Structure 1
Amino acid sequence: MNYNFDEIIDRKGTNSVKWDAVEDRWGRNDLIPMWVADMDFRTAPFVVEALRERLEHEVLGYTFACKEWADSIISWLKERHGWTIREEMLTFTPGIVRGLAFAIQCFTEKGDKVMVMPPVYHPFFLVSQKNEREVVYSPLILKDGQYHIDFDRFRKDVQGCKLLVLSNPHNPGGRVWTKEELSQIADICYDSGTLVISDEIHADLTLPPFKHSTFALISEKARMNSLVFMSPSKAFNMPGLASSYVIIENKEILHRFRTFMEASEFNEGHLFAYLSVAAAYSHGTEWLNQVIAYIKGNVDFTESYLKENIPAIKVIRPQASYLIFLDCRELGLAQNDLNQLFVEDAHLALNTGTTFGKEGEGFMRLNVACPRTILVQALEQLKEGKSNFFKRL
């Protein structure tokens, strides 16, 4: 079956954060929203059909995890990532950010140190701060158009940290970490007594020819010292269902986390949480392959367009995900002026780079998971907006 990702779907009026929150955030509603990390494509049809079929039975009573939930995860991880797990390693979490918060509460105390590597997905440090943990920042290095880990600094910064929150693949840079890099992280964190939380929500959106490496498969040290969070929510465009899971191979860590989760029933999912995952993983291979190809085409188009029309804006080409971190530093603008260019002149709503830490100064994050015609319009508006902005200077 061929899926149509060129279809333009009106999402306004659906309480969509991406579309309906634009006016509250920017004070205007004439912007193309390319910020929140969900797709403007239809959610995978087999997921929608599974939910529709369940609704035909018009009793929405208490539910529990269907057998297909665990079976589909086990099968998907084996086929897609070469990871053989058992059902008892799985724990449901109502979203990965919530899962991160639960892990912070479970494995650390107030005042403990939690390390992140900015620029990075902002809930990593915001959730840590709001839970009164001390955030340690160990910045990445941008070199040759990709982010890299400064391991000399990493070794120093991680000392005394109870947790490392790892974005794997990286958001916003889209970097797919190599096995060698992940192995170094595993060794250093094991020796320093730092538990690794690996957020692998973008793993299934790894773009060819790159291959995602699951952290727990890197080495025995990685396997015994990690929690790996995953979800089909990004890959199959269903984040509103708040359904994710964590895999823990270390029995002691698993027991501690499972006990914490069960104490408040945090590990109990809602009616659609289990059905949607089972549907996505049981029927999703072809749909996912096609959406990845379409996203890759949008990335290629964006890179070519900017090189030809706005060469001062550089693409940090994502190796995974539909998010592109735009390096706008050659424009020579302060972040406020850069934001003004995108909003007031180009009429675009993007994530400002400093959302991801001060290391994001001079950057903007662009979501290209949209029909190509919308992307073309957005880039043309950016070209015209940039011209108009500098004419006024």
Structure 2
Amino acid sequence: MENFNTFSDRKGTRSVKWDKVEELYGSEDVQPLWVADMDLEVASPIKKALQERVNHGIFGYTFTDEALNQVVIHWVKSHHNFYVQSDEIVYSPGVLETIHMAILTQTDELDKILIQTPVYHPFHHMIKRHNRTLVTSPLINTAGHYTMDFNDLEEQFKTGVKMMILCSPHNPIGRVWTIEELKRVLELAEKYNVLIVADEIHGDLIYPGHKHTPIASLDLATNNQIITLMSPTKTFNLAGLQISYAVIPDKKIRTQIKNAFVRFGITMLNPLGIVALETAYTKGEDWLNQLTDLLATNKALVETTLEPYDGVTVTKAEGTYLLWLDFNGLAMSHDELKTWMEQDAGLGLNSGIAFGENGSGFMRMNIASPTAYVKEALNKLTQALEEKAKDK
């Protein structure tokens, strides 16, 4: 059994989550539950493999090979029923880096790129930084359950959208899109010739009763117009080792993206990242199963703890270790909510408005920590809610 109960002190490790707390929230006393990495040690086999690689003592230039491809191919086939050919795989340091290259090579300046808000905030920024036109299709929130607005999506596609960045599973709302929903997206993308860039980095983190389906695994004619982005980094808490891969069936698109990486001098992976990927996908299954149990426990704890409190609603996540909390019932402006969360509750969560205007009044909470740490945060939050209720 892995030890998910011990809390490791991450301060002093140049951790974005921990060593930037005062800079971001104005006080070292704020408890961070924001950036999407885990306060959990990696799987023991990964640790061992990395230690052996470090003990080797030489960290020269690296390359990827067919053996690594086969590890990836087996993982996506066995976990997601996704059949990938070796020559379709393109490695990179990260999912975002590949999205940048896709935008640069598959669209021109001022071309329209669509995202479904509220959604992972870097999508907004990268589209604007490349001088593309940001198009949003807001998701429909019905009593805490989000769905795609297919009528709006089609209307937006009609205006000449060139690319859609699909977040699947969706961050921050935690939806795991159904096959029916994904097929409808594909039908519209084919009808209006829209390239789909599918960020599926959270695809291994799914709660019981739900199943992640890679959109490219569906047998439709649009298959070659999809770029699928995956990585072990979210699944196995390896973000700092910077390794990911894309599945790109279309040879022309694949060659253009590969050439773009070369132009920008991104031609090699971190040697430790390669070891981590290979070990995670061959020896990390037990750890992942235990992690899924922990996340389910933490999610249920948050839901049951906050259920009695007026003014806050927990969106029922189907995947990811991120919870989307709705505080609109507290009748505060978003700025007031943010200040209250940091100063009264003493918690550092992600501000919902960063994910889009329809994130106003929401906060994103990371629950990938020992349960005791999540309980500590909930104690602070419920105490602040009770104090606020007294002030009415």
User: What TM-score do you get using the length of structure 2 for normalisation?
Assistant: 0.97
The count of residues paired between Structure 1 and Structure 2 equals 391
What is the RMSD computed on CA atoms of the aligned residues?
A: 1.3
1:45-83 superposed Cα distances (whole Å, 9 cap, x missing partner): 222222211111122211112544212101101111111
Gaps (5+ residues) in structure 2? none
Instruction: State the Cα distance separating 1:339 from its structure 2 match.
Output: 0.9
| 1:323 aligned partner, one-letter code | L
Alignment match, 1:157: 156
**Structure 1: how far apart are the matches of 2:98 and 2:51?**
27
User: What TM-score do you get using the length of structure 1 for normalisation?
Assistant: 0.96
SS at 1:56 equivalent: helix
1:329-360 superposed Cα distances (whole Å, 9 cap, x missing partner): 11111101111221110100000110101010
1:204-257 superposed Cα distances (whole Å, 9 cap, x missing partner): 001111000101012323412100000010110010111100001122322332
2:95 paired with 1:96: yes
Alignment match, 2:237: 237
Alignment match, 2:206: 206
Residues 259, 220 of structure 1: alpha-carbon distance in 2 compared, 3 angstrom cutoff = farther
Gaps (5+ residues) in structure 1? none
Of the structure 1 ranges 46-55 and 146-155, higher mean CA displacement relative to structure 2 is found in 46-55
Structure 1 residues 30-41: aligned runs within 5 Å = 30-41=29-40
Residues 151, 117 of structure 1: alpha-carbon distance in 2 compared, 3 angstrom cutoff = same
Instruction: State the Cα distance separating 1:392 from its structure 2 match.
Output: 4.7
- 1:69–1:275 Cα contact (<8 Å) kept: no
SS at 2:377 equivalent: helix
2:80 paired with 1:81: yes
Alignment match, 1:184: 184
Residues 288, 222 of structure 1: alpha-carbon distance in 2 compared, 3 angstrom cutoff = farther
Alignment match, 1:289: 289
**Structure 2: how far apart are the matches of 1:4 and 1:324?**
23
| 1:57 aligned partner, one-letter code | H
Moved over 3 A (4+): 262-265, 389-393
**Structure 2: how far apart are the matches of 1:156 and 1:219?**
25
Instruction: State the Cα distance separating 1:175 from its structure 2 match.
Output: 0.1
- 1:196–1:225 Cα contact (<8 Å) kept: yes
- 1:51–1:272 Cα contact (<8 Å) kept: yes
| 1:15 aligned partner, one-letter code | R
1:106-141 superposed Cα distances (whole Å, 9 cap, x missing partner): 111111111101000011111111111110011000
Alignment match, 2:12: 13
Instruction: State the Cα distance separating 1:298 from its structure 2 match.
Output: 0.4
Structure 1 residues 311-322: aligned runs within 5 Å = 311-322=310-321
**Structure 2: how far apart are the matches of 1:21 and 1:69?**
35
**Structure 2: how far apart are the matches of 1:256 and 1:25?**
38
Of the structure 1 ranges 381-390 and 157-166, higher mean CA displacement relative to structure 2 is found in 381-390
Task: Among all aligned residue pairs of Structure 1 and Structure 2, give the percentage whose two residues are the same amino acid.
Answer: 35
**Structure 1: how far apart are the matches of 2:243 and 2:268?**
10
**Structure 1: how far apart are the matches of 2:280 and 2:66?**
14
Alignment match, 2:134: 135
Alignment match, 1:266: 266
| 1:213 aligned partner, one-letter code | T
- 2:242–2:270 Cα contact (<8 Å) kept: no
**Structure 2: how far apart are the matches of 1:311 and 1:373?**
24
| 2:89 aligned partner, one-letter code | L
**Structure 2: how far apart are the matches of 1:99 and 1:384?**
43
- 2:83–2:217 Cα contact (<8 Å) kept: no
Of the structure 1 ranges 45-54 and 283-292, higher mean CA displacement relative to structure 2 is found in 45-54
| 1:168 aligned partner, one-letter code | S
Structure 1 residues 214-363: aligned runs within 5 Å = 214-308=214-308, 310-363=309-362
- 1:94–1:242 Cα contact (<8 Å) kept: yes
Alignment match, 2:115: 116
- 2:106–2:253 Cα contact (<8 Å) kept: no
1:130-189 superposed Cα distances (whole Å, 9 cap, x missing partner): 111110011000014211011111001123111100000000000000111111111111
Residues 104, 337 of structure 1: alpha-carbon distance in 2 compared, 3 angstrom cutoff = same
